Chain A
Amino acid sequence: MDEKQPLLEFRDVDTYYGSLHILKDVNYSVDAGEIVALLGSNGAGKTTTMKTILGLVRPRDGRVIFEGKEINGLPTRQIVEMGIAPVPEGRRVFPKLTVLDNLKMGAWTRKDRDIQKDVDRVYTLFPRLAERKNQLAGTMSGGEQQMLAIGRALMARPRLMIMDEPSMGLSPILTERVFDTIVEINKQGTTIFMVEQNAYMALEIASRAYVLQTGEVVLSGTAQSLMESDLVRRAYLGGS
């Protein structure tokens, strides 16, 4: 096939929790270099999508493909090793480890031990983390913890970073700054697939987006076209 292969692809994925059908025949594709947003209301299946990528939930049907390899059914650690780094919902930093140790945890899967360069890179992106490198992560503010969660994911040198609600619990101004950072990380070469409730912010930085409703993709396209779509305006942007 001459067609360019997407970095991440969902092909007709069905996910269940017991008898609850969560993702229904879902298809996504994320190309290398993109920022792709996944929008949807509560219970639409956004977090389930993230869990499916990471192998925390196994799809009953369909295939999840990363760099041409099927990853559904693999244990989480192998998926992470292949180059997908998660920034989990609610940050989930290790509260009783120092900032530096948290970052080192991010590099866990790396075969090379030469991580100082990446630590420096994270510190350059987030000078605040450098100031706090010996502080316990749990004693930091929500914004600092979000920076740390992003920094920790970067330490794995991922090709794909998946982010679940990076704006969760942050003030509007902080949210804006987190998003600026996401753009910066993307410019430096990391593909980003993010779930976001804040549709306006997400569409501003994304190149493309999917809209999920009760487990089905009801809309997809470029961020610009979604921004103009009636459905999105009514449901997520508060427009009329």
Chain B
Amino acid sequence: MVTPSWRERIDHWRDSRALRRIAAVVVVIAAFLYPLVASSGTGLDTATVAEVFILLALGLNIVVGFAGLLDLGYAAFFAIGAYTTALLASTHFAIGNQTHTSLLLSYGPNGVHVNFFLLIPIAALAAALCGILFGAPTLRLRGDYLAIVTLGFGEIVPKVIENLGPGNSVGLPNITNGVNDITGIDSPPNINLGPIHWTFQTNDPRPWYYLGLIIVVISVIIIYRLRSSRLGRSWVAIREDEIAAAHAGINITGTRLTAFALGAAFSGFGGLLEASRLGTVDYTEFLFNFSITILVMVILGGMGSIPGAVLGGIVIAYLNQSWLTNAAAGINNFGGWLEKGPGLIHTLGVWLSGLPLASAKPMIFGIILVGIMLLRPQGLLPSGRRARELHPRTAGELAEEDSELYTVRTGEI
């Protein structure tokens, strides 16, 4: 027997459903235990940012990876989710002189405050509705044309938010607070369940981390179910071959719309989490470059791959929040170490240690991306479909099989 190469072993491992399930459980348990070993609060903060990024990557992966619709304005849905939270759970809207309070909602001179857990479906629904609103007139377009239209929507949403502030020229009341941002967004209520005591108002990042983690885990489960559902299959079918999909009786535009709406819904979760954690929303965070950053997460992880989207979100979050800074400092320190050397090495060391690398972070980011895509064009964790696609059986084998093919069995069915 030939011993399998390590590559074959990895492929085998990847194909094994039981092992994948075990791996998923291990990852989830590790993620739940992470705060116990995380050295400082900032590490957990980065992890919480990563959770928001994961939600965004998961949502965009539905649109781009499953349905094959290039969306260059996805950050707009993130903005909708965040601003929905900001409007419905902050001191921004003062109504009347008396405060009315009920279990899930209170409003009055101190603003509208909808309960956080009620906001979860509301934020997702608001983003999904915007997905339908933007998608309905445009999803008949294909490929490049659709990309340009989504780019347009991605520009429109922040502009609308910017221009619906106080004293706006359209004569509307102050809705979004415009360039002044909305601040004072509610934190989730404290949670006391048996041994769990989560307080969101303090500087402790752990409750945020766990809340995000739970939302991420639930989202991943939902998306796995979606992918293997009838709807998920029809997304892939349309991506693969629109005409054949129409021949199978699929309503092309309607099905694409569901991808757009569901993809948007997950960014609604992300927006909710981000807005309530930061306590403030700023429309300039949702511009074109952030749409591209989300797209990078999806492509980096592997288009159409759910673990890929998760990993892509984590990598980009950590690169942005800590790794790039560490890398820059590392290079400077390395220069400092070289300075002790003789002659030319000393000169090189002085040069390296004095480089203003902190401001060159975008460049390092770019180099890392180019490097990863050159080495792994299929993404870090490509979907099973894509992976198998890269290992087709040989043409000779196929021809051989053809010759002994097509045994027609007659008889009763």
Chain A residues engaging chain B, CB cutoff 8 angstroms:
54, 56, 75-77, 80-81, 85-86, 88, 92-97, 101, 104-106, 108-109, 121, 124-128, 136, 138-144, 147, 152, 156, 171, 173-174, 177-178, 180-181, 184, 187-188
Contact = CB atoms under 8 A, between A and B. Distances in A.
Contacts, number: 120
A152 B206 CA distance: 51
A95 B408 CA distance: 24
Contacts of B392: 138-139
B393 to A, nearest CB: 6
Nearest to B404: A128
B25 interface: no
A18 B236 CA distance: 32
Interface residues of B, number: 35
Interface in B214-229: none
Interface of B: 230, 233-234, 236-237, 240-241, 243-251, 385-386, 388-389, 392-393, 398-399, 401-403, 405-411, 413
B397 to A, nearest CB: 9
A128 B240 contact: no
A71 B236 CA distance: 28
B248 A109 contact: yes
B240 A97 contact: yes
A198 to B, nearest CB: 16
Given A80-B249, A109-B249, A142 B233 contact: no
B408 A104 contact: no
Nearest to A178: B406
Identify the 8 closest CB pairs spanning chains A and B, nearest first.
Answer: A177-B406, A109-B249, A80-B249, A92-B244, A141-B398, A94-B240, A139-B392, A77-B249
Contacts of A86: 247
B405 A128 contact: yes
Contacts of A144: 401-402, 405
A143 B389 contact: no
B249 A92 contact: no
26 contacts: A77-B246, A77-B249, A80-B248, A80-B249, A81-B249, A86-B247, A92-B241, A93-B244, A96-B386, A96-B389, A105-B233, A105-B245, A108-B250, A124-B413, A125-B408, A125-B413, A139-B392, A140-B398, A141-B401, A143-B402, A144-B401, A144-B402, A173-B403, A174-B405, A177-B408, A180-B408
A108 B399 contact: no
